[in-house]
């Protein structure tokens, strides 16, 4: 019996098919990437905050291995998150202020609300290692320049305003100057890494906001070069820290490869079975971001699930992944509960009532609850 003819194109490599846009015009891989980024954020905090306190000293090698992995991902995790946030905000950057102001007001509003709420919570809960607002003076200082784990929301507000001001200038000089500032951010006279991060990450937001087509053009080719990009990135995160460069310079240089690598991985993930789940998470980053730290703190008050010996080593290796899954699930469940009982103001910028006879200016509102930050964060 003759064999059926091979499918057209068999035997030669073909480029990955173009990914269809979502109904609202956003690319699926962007939501997938955002979902992956927020999961990596929670995983990072589970590793650096919970694991060392839950694992016995004898399991230090497992803890150290996890710490190395999560720190090696640092030049990808938040830089990619900010590139995506800038990419989603790129259309609004060149709109009139009256149409774009919610891009500033929404994240700063959420920042203030959750700064107060988390400040109250962590004034009582003291086990989780993190920056806390200790008094009214520190609270006022944080309103001006973020130092707590909520710095991402503060940065979104500041970055959009700054990108909006710079949108009329040539893009390459703006990116070049911001890259120099990022590289030197580690020289600031502060030991507070979150405040350094606010200065450091603007380059990546500006890249997405001011050069969105460049980011989109990178994504496809990067998905076909995962292996070489991955090898170069691994070499950079191993070698660069040995050169005595400022930490922010190391992160910037590694991020130049790490961000395209993250874009390429996201495009591939968007073609796989995990795409729908990651994209679903990626459209719900705000509640995960603001709620996961208190939930990680609660975990420290429970009996440690990590034993000793060989079994304890396996449990310690799995603990950050399992804790991340539990914290994300609990954050989303708590978000749904809070919305159900009417606490919408925690996740949605209140709107001014529109007076009768006065039409709303098109583009000044969002497309639903937490629309602005859900798109940006």
Q: Is residue 363 part of a domain?
A: no
Q: What is the pLDDT of residue 26?
A: 61
Q: Is residue 12 part of a domain?
A: no
Among residues 311, 316, 297, the alpha carbon closest in space to that of 56 is found at 316
Residue 365: band (very low, low, confident or very high) from pLDDT cuts 50, 70, 90: very low
Q: What is the pLDDT of residue 11?
A: 41
Residue 115: band (very low, low, confident or very high) from pLDDT cuts 50, 70, 90: very high
What's the helix, strand, coil split of the chain in %, to 5? 70, 0, 30
For the chain, how many structural domains are there in total? Answer: 1
Cα gap 83→209, rounded to integer Å? 8
pTM over 0.95? The answer is no
How does DSSP classify residue 355? P
| DSSP β-bridge partners for residue 21 | 27
Per this entry, what is the length of the chain? 377
Contact 80, 41 (CB under 8 A): no
Q: What is the pLDDT of residue 52?
A: 97
Residue 27: band (very low, low, confident or very high) from pLDDT cuts 50, 70, 90: confident
Average pLDDT over residues 23-39: 85
Q: What is the pLDDT of residue 361?
A: 46
Inform me whether the pLDDT recorded for 372 exceeds 60.
Answer: no
Q: Is residue 159 part of a domain?
A: yes
Q: Is residue 101 part of a domain?
A: yes
By three-state DSSP, how is residue 49 classified? helix
Q: What is the pLDDT of residue 191?
A: 83
Q: What is the pLDDT of residue 373?
A: 57
Q: Is residue 324 part of a domain?
A: yes
Q: Is residue 147 part of a domain?
A: yes
pLDDT, averaged across the chain: 89
Average pLDDT over residues 237-253: 95
Average pLDDT over residues 149-165: 97
Contact 160, 376 (CB under 8 A): yes
Residue 132: band (very low, low, confident or very high) from pLDDT cuts 50, 70, 90: confident
Lowest mean pLDDT among 3-12, 28-37, 65-74, 186-195: 3-12
Q: Is residue 13 part of a domain?
A: no
Q: 97 is in which domain, residue-wise?
A: 28-350+369-376
Inform me whether the pLDDT recorded for 376 exceeds 70.
Answer: no
Average pLDDT over residues 138-164: 96
Inform me whether the pLDDT recorded for 23 exceeds 80.
Answer: no
Q: Using a pLDDT cut of 90, give the percent of the chain over it.
A: 81
Q: What is the pLDDT of residue 190?
A: 85
Average pLDDT over residues 159-165: 97
Q: Is residue 362 part of a domain?
A: no
Handedness of CA 329, 333, 339, 342 (dihedral sign): negative
């Amino acid at each position: 019996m003759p064999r059926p003819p091979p499918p057209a194109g068999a035997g030669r490599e073909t480029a990955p098919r173009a990914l269809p846009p979502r109904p609202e015009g956003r690319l699926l891989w962007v939501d997938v990437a955002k979902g992956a980024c927020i999961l990596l954020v929670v995983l990072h905090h589970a590793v650096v905050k919970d694991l060392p306190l839950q694992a016995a000293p004898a399991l230090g090698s497992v803890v150290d291995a996890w710490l190395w992995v999560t720190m090696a991902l640092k030049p990808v995790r938040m830089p990619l998150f900010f590139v995506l946030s800038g990419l989603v905000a790129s259309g609004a950057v060149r709109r009139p202020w009256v149409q774009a102001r919610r891009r500033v007001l929404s994240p700063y509003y959420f920042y203030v609300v959750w700064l107060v709420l988390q400040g109250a919570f962590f004034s009582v809960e003291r086990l989780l290692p993190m920056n806390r607002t200790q008094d009214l003076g520190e609270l006022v200082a944080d309103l001006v320049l973020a130092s707590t784990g909520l710095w991402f929301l503060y940065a979104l507000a500041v970055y959009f305003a700054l990108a909006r001001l710079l949108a009329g200038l040539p893009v390459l000089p703006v990116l070049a100057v911001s890259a120099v500032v990022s590289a030197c951010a580690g020289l600031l006279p502060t030991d507070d890494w979150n405040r350094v991060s606010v200065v450091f990450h603007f380059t990546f937001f500006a890249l997405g906001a001011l050069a969105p087509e460049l980011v989109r053009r990178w994504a496809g080719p990067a998905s076909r070069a995962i292996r070489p990009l991955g090898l170069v990135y691994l070499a950079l995160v191993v070698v660069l820290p040995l050169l005595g460069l400022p930490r922010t310079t190391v992160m910037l240089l590694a991020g130049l490869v790490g961000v395209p690598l993250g874009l390429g991985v996201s495009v591939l993930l968007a073609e796989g079975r995990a795409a729908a789940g990651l994209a679903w998470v990626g459209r719900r980053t705000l509640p995960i971001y603001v709620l996961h730290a208190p939930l990680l703190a609660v975990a420290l008050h429970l009996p440690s699930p990590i034993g000793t010996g060989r079994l304890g080593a396996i449990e310690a290796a799995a603990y950050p992944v399992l804790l991340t899954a539990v914290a994300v699930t609990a954050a989303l469940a708590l978000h749904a509960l809070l919305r159900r009982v009417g606490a919408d103001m925690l996740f949605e910028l209140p709107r001014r009532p529109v007076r009768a006879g006065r039409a709303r200016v098109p583009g000044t509102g969002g497309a639903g609850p937490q629309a602005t930050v859900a798109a940006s964060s």
